[in-house]
Amino acid sequence: MSSIKNIELPDIGDFDEVEVIEILVSVGDTIAADDSIITLESDKASMEIPSPSAGTVTQININIGDKIKQGDSLISLESTQESEESTTEAEESSEPAAETSTKIVPVVVPDIGDFDEVEVIEILVSVGDELNEEDSIITLESDKASMEIPTPIAGTVNSINISLGDKLNLGDLILEMQSSGTTQAEAVTQEAPSAPAPTKPAVAAPAAKANISETVSNVPAGDSHASPSIRKLARELGVDLSKVSGTGQKGRVLDTDLKGYVKQIVTSGGTGSAIPKVPVIDFSKFGETELQPLSRINKLSGKHLSACWLNIPHVTQFDEVNIDQMETFRQEQKAKGVKLTPLVFIMKAVIQALKQHSRFNSALDESGENLIIKKYFNLGIAMDTPNGLVVPVIRDVDQKSLSDLATELAETSAKARDGKLKPGDMQGAGFTISSLGGIGGTQFTPIVNAPEVAILGVSRSQTKPIWDGKNFVPTLMLPLALSYDHRVIDGAQGGRFMADLNSILQDIREILL
CATH number at residue 200: 2.40.50.100
Whether the pLDDT of residue 342 is over 90: the answer is: yes
The larger pLDDT score, comparing residue 344 to residue 24, is at: 344
Residues 106, 201, single domain; the answer is yes
Interstrand relation of 431-435 and 379-381 (parallel, antiparallel or unpaired): parallel
Residues 104, 193, single domain; the answer is yes
Name the packing angle between helices 255-268 and 228-237 (round to 10°). 20
pLDDT bucket at 102, cuts 50 / 70 / 90 = low
Residues 246, 139, single domain; the answer is no
- The answer to the question of residue 222 being in a domain is no
Of 242, 238, 244, 236, which Cα lies nearest the Cα of 261?
244
Q: Which residues lie below 8 Å from residue 384, measured CB to CB, with a gap of 6+?
A: 439
Residues 360, 232, single domain; the answer is no
Residue type, 10: P
pLDDT bucket at 9, cuts 50 / 70 / 90 = confident
Residues 110, 179, single domain; the answer is yes
Whether the pLDDT of residue 31 is over 50: the answer is: yes
- The answer to the question of residue 393 being in a domain is yes
pLDDT bucket at 4, cuts 50 / 70 / 90 = confident
Mean pLDDT of the chain: 80
Whether the pLDDT of residue 209 is over 50: the answer is: no
What is the predicted pLDDT for the residue at 14? 62
pLDDT bucket at 429, cuts 50 / 70 / 90 = very high
- Give the span between the Cα atoms of 476 and 465, in whole angstroms: 9
Residue 257 sits in a domain of what CATH number? 4.10.320.10
Whether the pLDDT of residue 116 is over 80: the answer is: no
Interstrand relation of 454-458 and 431-435 (parallel, antiparallel or unpaired): parallel
pLDDT bucket at 375, cuts 50 / 70 / 90 = very high
- Give the span between the Cα atoms of 435 and 110, in whole angstroms: 35
Whether the pLDDT of residue 344 is over 90: the answer is: yes
- The answer to the question of residue 273 being in a domain is yes
- The answer to the question of residue 145 being in a domain is yes
- Give the span between the Cα atoms of 377 and 386, in whole angstroms: 29
Residues 151, 84, single domain; the answer is no
Question: Is the sign of the CA dihedral 235, 238, 240, 246 positive or negative?
Answer: negative
What is the predicted pLDDT for the residue at 513? 64
Whether the pLDDT of residue 165 is over 50: the answer is: yes
- The answer to the question of residue 18 being in a domain is yes
Weakest mean pLDDT among 62-66, 277-281, 364-368, 472-476: 277-281
The sheet with strand 155-160 has its strands ordered as 103-108, 173-179, 155-160, 130-131
Whether the pLDDT of residue 88 is over 60: the answer is: no
Residues 336, 357, single domain; the answer is yes
Q: Which of 79, 99, 119 is the last residue of a domain?
A: 99
- The answer to the question of residue 418 being in a domain is yes
In which domain, by residue range, is 65 found? 1-99
Task: Tell me the average pLDDT across 467-494.
Answer: 95
- The answer to the question of residue 339 being in a domain is yes
* Annotated catalytic residue within 225, 304, 314, 486: 486
Residues 398, 316, single domain; the answer is yes
Residues 343, 406, single domain; the answer is yes
What is the predicted pLDDT for the residue at 50? 86
What is the predicted pLDDT for the residue at 124? 87
The larger pLDDT score, comparing residue 393 to residue 193, is at: 393
What is the predicted pLDDT for the residue at 182? 43
The larger pLDDT score, comparing residue 25 to residue 85, is at: 25
What is the predicted pLDDT for the residue at 190? 39
Residue 403 sits in a domain of what CATH number? 3.30.559.10
Weakest mean pLDDT among 89-93, 123-127, 226-230, 381-385: 89-93
What is the predicted pLDDT for the residue at 501? 96
Tally the domains of the chain.
Answer: 4
Of 172, 268, 275, 167, which Cα lies nearest the Cα of 221?
167
What is the predicted pLDDT for the residue at 477? 95
- Give the span between the Cα atoms of 80 and 371, in whole angstroms: 68
- The answer to the question of residue 219 being in a domain is no
- Give the span between the Cα atoms of 243 and 261, in whole angstroms: 9
DSSP-assigned states of every residue in 79-111:
EEHHHHHHHHHHHHHHHHHHHSS-EEEEEE---
Question: What is the per-residue pLDDT across 239-271, written as a single tens digit (0 to 9) for each?
Answer: 888 788 877 655 678 877 888 888 777 655 554
Q: What three-state secondary structure class fits 445?
A: coil
Residues 485, 356, single domain; the answer is yes
Whether the pLDDT of residue 65 is over 90: the answer is: no
Cβ-count burial of 44 within 10 angstroms (0-12 exposed, 13-18 middle, 19+ buried)? middle
Residues 302, 342, single domain; the answer is yes
DSSP-assigned states of every residue in 31-47:
E-TT-EEEEEE-SS-EE
Whether the pLDDT of residue 203 is over 50: the answer is: no
Residues 200, 336, single domain; the answer is no
Q: Which of 39, 67, 99 is the last residue of a domain?
A: 99
Known catalytic membership, residue 486: yes
Q: Which of 192, 214, 236 is the last residue of a domain?
A: 214
Q: What three-state secondary structure class fits 376?
A: coil
